Amino acid sequence: MSTLFTPLSLRDLTLRNRLWVSPMCQYSAVEGVPQEWHHTHLAQFASGGAGLVIAEATAVSPEGRISPDDTGLWTDAQRDAWEPIVSAIRSRGAVAAVQLAHAGRKASTWSPFSGRRGTVVAADGGWNTVAPSAVAFDGFAEPAALEVAGIDRVVADFGSAARRAVAAGFEVLEIHAAHGYLIHQFLSPLSNLREDEYGGSLENRARLLLRVIDEVTDAAPGIPLLVRFSATDWADGGWDADQTAVVARWSAERGADFFDISSGGLVAHQRITTGPGYQVDLAARVRREAGVPVSAVGMIDDAAHAERILAAGEADAIMAGREWLRDPHYGLRAADELGADIDYWPKQYARARR
């Protein structure tokens, strides 16, 4: 039996396999509302055999968007637009999840389709950004340092978005604490220069994340909760795997169920050596040191590699992004390559099954 195609349980929810779709921004929303593109984009992965399909980084407030073209969950209209998309994913046998996010100092930026880089100014539909400290990401506008009242609003926004997500039918939630966005900005000493209860010590820098976990679990009781971490900043003096393991353990004690381990994104001077499975060691380390279940992600592009990672006990699930974009039926293909006997080939595609 293939480990990759062994079901995995999160609380009372059983996922049909361990080959999952990472959240991938599409920069195709209108006023935070997902469009027909999102429906087709996400539903195809469920038809293609994914166990879990995570919708892109979805802002908990207007100012939390990476770009003006990002999806959101701060209005009921957005909630209602997500509902048929979620239904389409579930009807095809996969579990629908959404990544709740706030971009912090990396918000109000041009989408990659615009051909422009940097901060979108107010005249072009942009807004003022916020962060733990008034330290800009390279090439972006300087953010305003959040006051405690502003932090309280961010926490409340995550709770409101979680309630809307559940009302839309999402069965799993993920908190985005990675890739240089707001929660990661609080975690890393490279971007968090605060001297109050949200800065300095590891406990203080983790305070926002832990408060968000409390808020989300209160707003969505019983719903499995993932946290995505960047396990290293790939920069001297920054956030690292040791700190990630400690905070992952604290997060599990507060109610998080599973940890999605990626890396980087906080600073422009990061130095990353990439290659197939280049982040697997980070996932394995967090799994071992924190004693929590994790997924691995990053250039895991073939079924045999994914199977080896799970068989070696380095991760409990595999996230993939670009490979699903190249082949939306990656799950079906992977099962075929591994000789896994699955019962969820769409009957309409049965003639292609070997």
Q: Which two tokens stand for residue 256?
A: 């998080």
Q: Which two tokens stand for residue 308?
A: 């080896």
Residue 131, phi then psi, degrees to nearest 5: -165, 175
Relative to beta strand 13-15, strand 8-10 is antiparallel
Question: In this predicted model, what pLDDT tens digit does every residue of 55-109 receive, in sequence order?
Answer: 999 999 999 999 999 999 999 999 999 999 999 999 999 999 999 999 999 999 9
Question: In this predicted model, what pLDDT tens digit does every residue of 138-166 receive, in sequence order?
Answer: 999 999 999 999 999 999 999 999 999 99
- Predicted confidence at residue 354, as pLDDT, reads 76
Among 216, 226, 187, 180, residue whose Cα is nearest residue 21: 226
Is 26 a residue whose pLDDT tops 80? yes
- Predicted confidence at residue 82, as pLDDT, reads 99
Give pTM, 2 decimals: 0.97
181 is catalytic: yes
**Active-site hit among 181, 198, 278, 344:** 181
Q: Which two tokens stand for residue 137?
A: 């990401």
Among 348, 350, 334, residue whose Cα is nearest residue 6: 334
Is 200 a residue whose pLDDT tops 90? yes
CA 132 to chain centre: 20
- Predicted confidence at residue 216, as pLDDT, reads 98
Cα-based distances in Å from 154 to 129, 235, 280, 351: 13, 27, 31, 50
**Own/partner pairs, 112-120, CB within 8 angstroms, 24+ separation:** 112/27, 113/27, 113/69, 120/67, 120/68
User: What are the chain's domains?
Assistant: 8-352 (3.20.20.70)
- Predicted confidence at residue 1, as pLDDT, reads 83
The Cβ of residue 59 has, within 10 Å, a number of other Cβ atoms equal to 27
Confidence band, pLDDT 50/70/90 cuts, at residue 353: confident
In the DSSP assignment, the letter for residue 146 is P
Confidence band, pLDDT 50/70/90 cuts, at residue 262: very high
Overall average pLDDT of the 7-33 stretch: 98
- What is the residue-wise DSSP string for 285-330? HHHHHH---EEE-SS--SHHHHHHHHHTTS-SEEEESHHHHH-TTH
The secondary structure element, H or E, covering residue 187 is helix 182-187
CA distance 249 to 286: 9
